[in-house]
Structure 1
Amino acid sequence: MARKFLYAFAVLIFLVIAAALTFRLYGDQLMRIALVPSAAFEALPGVGARDYAKPGMWLARPDKPGNPAHWTPPGYKPTVKPRAAMFYIHPTSYLERARWNAPLDDKIANDRAALFLRGQATAFNESAAIWAPRYRQATFGAFLTGQKEAQLALDLAYGDVAAAFDSFLTQIGPDQPIILAGHSQGALHLMRLLRERVAGKPLAKRIVAAWVIGWPISRSADLPALGLPECRTADQAGCILSWQSFAEPADPTLIVDSYNASTGMSGKPRKGTAMLCTNPITGTPNATAPASANLGTLVPSKDMGTATIVAGGLPARCDPRGFLLIGPPPAQIDKYVLPGNNYHVFDYSLFWANVRADAARRLAAFEAR
């Protein structure tokens, strides 16, 4: 499986383009015709927690043969005795317009999701046993339209995520620390999961931290409803981290426009509110860090067949708007960058080694409480 680890960056060019358009309520007319489903929304039967007791419903779980979550670049190894359990929600990997939601057995979508998992969730495999469910994700055309079917598709996808999470809780230890992580569509579902399953519940005390990456979080319109504060210090546990990566000069107009037109998880408008920006190098908000402090970026080989860690290559700083800036476009990653110098698809891999160290540090802080 590791042989084509970053093949996703080559074969998922449409996903990369879609990520740039994620925050738009109305896309270009041609894009809508090409990508927004023309079929009627199908109200499919719900999937329950019992369904997720089946190993086949998971992209990754500790007992899965050939588990993609066990991949590491040279010089790193997954732990053999994980102290925490991690619930990871992958980004959009379904491209079709024949349906609003991906079938659970769609091999192409599942293979793509596994590739994303290797580039993102593996950063946590030193600290946690990783669980990543298959779910009937909304097709990425759902992010290009304001049709009611789009929200119905997202609701269906979230229903699967919630059921998987309920099953996850029954299958791990009753007191085991929990790490939460997601990206893009997965981060959107994770925000709702935090609001509905964690906020105000005893479970909140078991959360080591939540990495809600590649989706904007309003400090005033979202964060109060999520049940955890933002991470203010590098050794804080029970908190939320979030960032959106751009090289300079950055043009996040697409994100800002949609953000200002949207409503937060608290029901309040997001317009004009500050976005949460965690610097993944320092593990603190609104911070600046030099390239020398970057422990390692996950960089693909020229043939896209493998990946290695390159340390000290990229700086990072949170700008006043709440976006994470990485300086001039990095030479080691020169493909599949989105309009406006948006490095959305690389949000985790730009700081893979720092995310790994951050997870270990927060887990140690959690266990020391």
Structure 2
Amino acid sequence: MRKAVVGMLLAAAVSGPIWAQEGAGAKVPPAPDYEARANWSVFASKGWASPLPKGAAEPARAPKVAVFFLHPTTLRSETGELNQNTADAKANTWTDESSIARQASAFAACCDVYAPRYRAATYNSFASGPVREAAFALAYGDVERAFDAFLKQIGDRPFIIAGHSQGAFHSATLLERRIDGTALQKQMVAAYIIGINLAQGDFGKRFKSVTPCATPDQTGCVLQWNAYLEGATDVAKMAGYSQSTYVQKYGDDAGKVTLCINPLTFDARLPQAPSAAARGAVPGSPGFGPLQPLRAGAVSARCDSGLLIVRPDKALGLEPLAGGVMHYHDLGLFWADVSANAVRRARAFSAGAK
């Protein structure tokens, strides 16, 4: 079962372009109206209001930067849905407590956070390629409409886009189709696209203008990493899997290596960092209830063949998926590091705009 989950997660992360809605064969839930606050997990106008883990930086009171955050797959449907219904209270609660509280909250110290509810593809849709593509296409349509509502709300303020797993997939598509090479690129502080498999060669091919972030305070750039447990991961095998989509599309060239920016350094020149560099991880597996206090110095990380190889403290109580995949903890392991880096980039952007 766990191997199947890993396969579905990775299939979602590396699947190709998605445009057809035909053949889904399931009832489509109603389209959300993004003028209604009920269709947003977070709709910040006065800063972050929910509890943060002990040890977190204080939420920004009057942030100049806004964040558009997209949650990962959060519905393992038992009744056959291919796309999550944004009116499903149970699914929304799980989304809010497993993703928004543990992931989107990392941006509270820098920014106003906006996180739409969207008809995300469910685990059911991962069973076949055509069905998955249709479900992802429907979800992405919501993402674009939510992004338009977000832009209407923030005006000409600078923004960050961020997402994890399926949310990162849609963030990458949004970056490609709506931001890269457009006037909006000048407003973008950074894109935190976490837990998918963008290749180094995608920059210059898929993305014509934006580039990977090379330094901790660079702006207008893209960050990505995928965490795997040291000693439990066949690096060569997983690296090959992560490169497969690029190779199929562009050929077997040097650009196939997956982009890995170490979130303990955020510096392309420093791909390895000891646990002493870690500002604070969120303990415990994603679940209901308040977050446990952050724990500093609890994880080391290094980029190896495009993968982020991590060694977390066992006291964190984090369970890997089969094969040492730490997908559920891509952000939680580096919660305070992401928080501090987003603050740094937001300040750098504001300073450069003066």
Q: One-letter code of the match for 1:323?
A: L
CA distance, structure 1, for counterparts of residue 7 and residue 317 of structure 2: 16
Among all aligned residue pairs of Structure 1 and Structure 2, give the percentage whose two residues are the same amino acid. 34
Q: Does 1:337 align with 2:317?
A: no
- Structure 2 residue 198 is the aligned partner of structure 1 residue 214: no
Change in 2 beyond 3 A, CA 1:86/1:15? farther
| Residue aligning to 2:42 | 60
Q: Which residue of the partner structure matches residue 309 of structure 1? A: 294
Please name the residue that 2:17 is paired with: none
Alignment partners' CA distance in 1, 2:288 and 2:220: 40
Show structure 2 runs of 5+ residues with no match: 13-22
What amino acid maps onto 2:295 in structure 1?
Answer: V
Q: TM-score, normalised by structure 2?
A: 0.85
The number of residue pairs the alignment matches comes to: 334
Aligned: 1:73 with 2:56: no
What does residue range 1-369 of structure 1 map to in structure 2 within 5 Å?
18-19=5-6, 21-24=8-11, 40-42=25-27, 51-63=33-45, 70-76=50-56, 77-96=58-77, 97-115=79-97, 116-146=99-129, 148-172=130-154, 174-221=155-202, 224-226=205-207, 227-249=209-231, 250-251=233-234, 255-256=238-239, 258-263=241-246, 268=250, 273-285=256-268, 287-300=271-284, 305-319=290-304, 321-327=305-311, 329-369=312-352
**RMSD after superposition:** 2.9
In the alignment, the residues of structure 2 paired with residue 183 and residue 303 of structure 1 have an alpha-carbon distance, to the nearest angstrom, of: 19
1:306 Cα deviation (Å)?
Answer: 3.5
The 1-side partners of 2:202 and 2:320 are apart by: 29
Amino acid in structure 1 at the alignment position of 2:104: A
Q: What CA distance in whole angstroms lies between the structure 2 residues aligned with 1:185 and 1:253?
A: 24
TM-score, normalised on structure 1? 0.82
- CA pair 305-171 structure 1, distance change in 2 beyond 3 A: closer
Q: Which structure 1 segments of 5+ residues have no match?
A: 1-13, 26-37
**Deviation string for 1:314-355 (max 9, x for gaps)?**
111111x1111123x531233431112111111111111111
How much has 1:75 moved relative to structure 2? 3.3
**Cα distance change, pair 335–348 in 1 and its aligned pair in 2 (3 A):** closer
Task: Check 1:17–1:59 CA distance in 2 against 1; reply closer, same or farther (3 A cut).
Answer: farther
Q: Distance in 2 between matches of 1:252 and 1:350?
A: 20
Determine if contact 1:219/1:276 at 8 Å carries over to the other structure. yes
